[in-house]
A and B are shown apart, each in its own frame.
Chain A
């Protein structure tokens, strides 16, 4: 009875097309955002550094993957590769451009990743499905290899593992977990909003048209070339920014071995479980994948009274993720996001059942 639409009229198309047409949703989102900003004052450093920051960062990468796979329908297994491009680009920009603000470096890194994404997205013009997935595997393996073997990227550092530089903007060093969290929060929230705008507008319709029926889309005047490459570019931009944040705000190191094919598969799972073709799904999926090992650890501890071997946890994790993917694909292809939407719809009727 709290979540009612009664009395809320939309008298213009602009009103009808808002992201949150219901007043309750708008209030809800405002509360969530305020909570997100104030969170560092109650959360401890562990939660911030080990859970919240990686969750935000990986949600951003999952968003990129969702744009490419969920909206534009291009199967991709190379997201970690584009993350790596972003991370190394950011390192090099900060290294070689004196006094560059962190945000600018991150944005430029995203652009670099976008350009690489366009190049490796070219095969999508002729191939699709599994074939395209293999082409993206090629990009994943090649990019990580190239970043590792050409010493220029690492500034000829013989150590192999580079420490990420501090995050510096407007003369301030954002060093503490709290400050890093805020930087990440602002960047991720802003990019998520932009993604939502694109997805709901003509850009998103173009992507989905290519995904659902590209022959019809072409017959309507859509340029498949431009739309697909644009999807690859924007998606890689998001992955690249995510990669830069991953290295600078989370790992604190810049190394190719952090961006493996296993990470690409994790991102894939986030997107499938979270919900293909939804913005919220990226956040839900990332949370699910990140929190599962912690949840398992705690439960096993509770049930068996002792810490369980890490390899067992990771094996159980694998089984659960795999089963959930299959289950979601069979029963609810739109993933957790759709389950959330259904819950909201039931809430609108509550306490009535229909």
Chain B
């Protein structure tokens, strides 16, 4: 019975990481859906967002004031990115844009460290990070209130974003913009407003993801590499599919944890570092468009 509950604990832990991966990946999906650009710098933005939030609080601002400040900063970062990086390269190849966003990620990481320093910070959200006693007593699992809250918040965000895209007028506008800028403009969709909304949303997503993750593991540079895990999630789920990213995130999170705990010890651990990527490669060879993505046909 112990073994069963242990497995559940590992699984739940994996699913919780998974939903966080999904959250970070959703930031990528948002930008990609609106501009067909893969924003490699999304991870750096997660880091910058939460670092700004914490830094601003250290300067004296209360929690509820720091939030809009951090979001505002992210919107500015987004607009600057669009203006100085994406727009000059608008006619270039996908590979060029990708390399540019790699460069951008380093700029943002550097600026973040220059602005706020390199110390690891703790983020206290006021939610307990101790294992909940009655769960531990009944099942032996170590799950804290923070874990559960993180899971719930992430799920709510993911669900609302999914609904935003598919049901609302704004969501349709976003999808139109992603498909064809000129056509969207010609039917009166306000491009600038859409852009601001996209970057604001991506910024909020980045901030929430950073806060949840930072509360569990501390706000530090390693966050950027964690965000890199969102890449396999995107590949497995399909770049343009919100439900795909959700499912893929859970899949990646759960599978990497389970494999690490049950297979890892045979090799001395560390399997979760590469497992999601290899999984993504296997997916690519079998189903390149991901679980829910659209098939790409190249016209000659």
Contact = CB atoms under 8 A, between A and B. Distances in A.
A and B touch in the complex (CB under 8 A): yes
A256 B280 CA distance: 24
A214 to B, nearest CB: 10
Interface residues of B, number: 46
Interface in A244-263: 261
Contacts of B38: 130
Contacts of A326: 84-85, 100, 103-104, 107
A315 B284 CA distance: 35
A150 B108 CA distance: 37
B77 interface: no
A88 to B, nearest CB: 17
A269 B191 CA distance: 33
Contacts of B109: 315, 318, 322
Contacts of B96: 329, 333
A272 B232 CA distance: 24
Interface string A310-353: 01100111111111111001100100000000000000000000
B281 A123 contact: yes
A130 B238 CA distance: 12
A37 interface: no
Contact of B270 (A123, A149, A215, A323): A149
Contact of A319 (B84, B85, B106, B285): B106
A131 interface: yes
A129 B94 CA distance: 7
A135 B269 CA distance: 21
B99 interface: yes
Q: Which 6 A-B pairs have the closest CB atoms?
A: A325-B103, A318-B110, A322-B107, A319-B110, A322-B106, A138-B277
Nearest to A310: B118
9 contacts: A127-B284, A129-B95, A138-B274, A141-B273, A150-B267, A318-B113, A322-B103, A326-B85, A329-B103
A145 interface: yes
B288 A131 contact: yes
A63 to B, nearest CB: 18
A134 B268 CA distance: 24
A312 B270 contact: no
B149 to A, nearest CB: 31
Contacts of A75: 95, 98
Contacts of A149: 267-270
B153 interface: no
B205 to A, nearest CB: 20
B189 interface: no
A300 interface: no
A150 B105 CA distance: 34
Contact of B278 (A138, A312, A329, A330): A138
A158 to B, nearest CB: 12
A324 B106 CA distance: 11
Interface of A: 73, 75, 123, 126-127, 129-131, 133-135, 137-138, 141-142, 145, 148-150, 215, 261, 265, 268, 272, 311-312, 315-326, 329-330, 333
A133 B97 CA distance: 13
Given A126-B284, A134-B280, A326-B100, A318 B107 contact: yes
B207 interface: no
A138 B228 CA distance: 12
Interface of B: 38, 84-85, 88-89, 92, 94-96, 98-100, 102-111, 113-114, 118, 225, 228, 231-232, 235, 267-271, 273-274, 277-278, 280-281, 284-285, 288, 298, 300
B110 A315 contact: yes
B24 to A, nearest CB: 15
A142 B99 contact: no
A198 to B, nearest CB: 22
A145 B274 contact: yes
Given A133-B98, A322-B103, A123 B284 contact: yes
Contacts of A138: 274, 277-278, 280-281
A311 B120 CA distance: 13
B267 A134 contact: no
Nearest to B232: A134
Contacts of B95: 73, 75, 129
Nearest to B87: A330
A323 B231 contact: no
B281 A321 contact: no
Q: Which of A127, A319, A326 has the most CB of B within 10 A?
A: A326
B98 A129 contact: yes
Nearest to B85: A326
A354 B152 CA distance: 68
Given A73-B95, A141-B274, A135 B106 contact: no
Given A326-B103, A326-B104, A329-B89, A137 B285 contact: no
A135 B94 CA distance: 17
Given A129-B94, A138-B274, 15 more contacts: A130-B94, A130-B98, A131-B288, A135-B277, A137-B228, A272-B103, A312-B114, A315-B109, A315-B110, A315-B114, A316-B114, A319-B106, A319-B111, A326-B100, A326-B104
Given A126-B284, A134-B280, A145 B100 contact: no
Given A75-B98, A315-B114, A330-B89, A126 B288 contact: yes
Q: Which of A123, A137, A317, A323 has the most CB of B within 10 A?
A: A137
A318 B110 CA distance: 5
B106 A318 contact: yes
B286 to A, nearest CB: 10
Contact of A134 (B88, B105, B281): B281
B277 A142 contact: yes
A271 B69 CA distance: 38
Given A75-B95, A315-B114, A134 B231 contact: yes
